[in-house]
Chains A and B, each alone.
Chain A
Amino acid sequence: DAGVIQSPRHEVTEMGQEVTLRCKPISGHNSLFWYRQTMMRGLELLIYFNNNVPIDDSGMPEDRFSAKMPNASFSTLKIQPSEPRDSAVYFCASSLGGSANYGYTFGSGTRLTVV
């Protein structure tokens, strides 16, 4: 298995533009998580899905952020409009059955810079 695949690896965009981050989880994993990592706030859980259904989006910072999982092999995180404070590394992770018995497999992340 190629692991969790995220694209793009790097994204530089101007303030006000729409940004879409993509994630392909490991085949067979039924839980998917989006995290954001910054120096100031560390790793923050934004939203997670179980069997393609959003379970908890309480970590999504604002209405500018939205996430979808149209099928078991694909998820997107969209920021519209983007702001400089959204600059961070965004990670997608997947797991088999949440994390009660198994760890998460993380992607390599998307480094987002909003100028």
Chain B
Amino acid sequence: SQQGEEDPQALSIQEGENATMNCSYKTSINNLQWYRQNSGRGLVHLILIRSNEREKHSGRLRVTLDTSKKSSSLLITASRAADTASYFCATYNQGGKLIFGQGTELSVKP
């Protein structure tokens, strides 16, 4: 069963622009994580934000979490062609499971 839902499903931007992806979820969480998947590859962990945190940065990535709205966003600044990939949010709850959303397909055109 899917816990997170990403929005938009697909996003196409020019190199240098910022990309914002959103994730909504349904139940209470322990933490929320973002992953990247390049075509034909496994998922790569990008960032983890705990339920008591509101914002986190890692390089060109900025993640926000609003537990009252049960939503998160991932911002990639100054995007590059190499950022082209699918991005997934995943929620971890007390049940001990990491449940993934359907993902956002990002295309960055040079």
The chain A residues found within 8 Å of chain B, CB to CB, are 4, 33, 35, 42-43, 45, 48, 55-56, 91, 93, 98-109
Contact = CB atoms under 8 A, between A and B. Distances in A.
B44 A106 contact: yes
Q: Give the interface residue-count category, chain B.
A: 20 to 34
24 contacts: A4-B42, A42-B103, A43-B88, A43-B100, A45-B97, A45-B99, A48-B96, A91-B42, A93-B42, A98-B92, A99-B98, A100-B31, A100-B92, A101-B31, A101-B48, A103-B33, A103-B35, A103-B45, A103-B46, A104-B43, A104-B45, A104-B98, A106-B44, A107-B42
Interface string B23-66: 00000001101010000011111101000000000000000000
Contacts of B44: 106
Given A99-B92, A100-B31, A103-B35, A91 B43 contact: yes
B88 to A, nearest CB: 7
Contacts, number: 55
Contacts of A4: 42
Interface of B: 2, 30-31, 33, 35, 41-46, 48, 88, 92, 95-103
B35 to A, nearest CB: 7
A102 B103 contact: no
B43 A48 contact: no
A105 B95 CA distance: 20
Contacts of A56: 95-97
Given A45-B97, A106-B43, 6 more contacts: A45-B99, A48-B97, A99-B33, A99-B98, A103-B35, A109-B42
Contacts of B48: 101-103
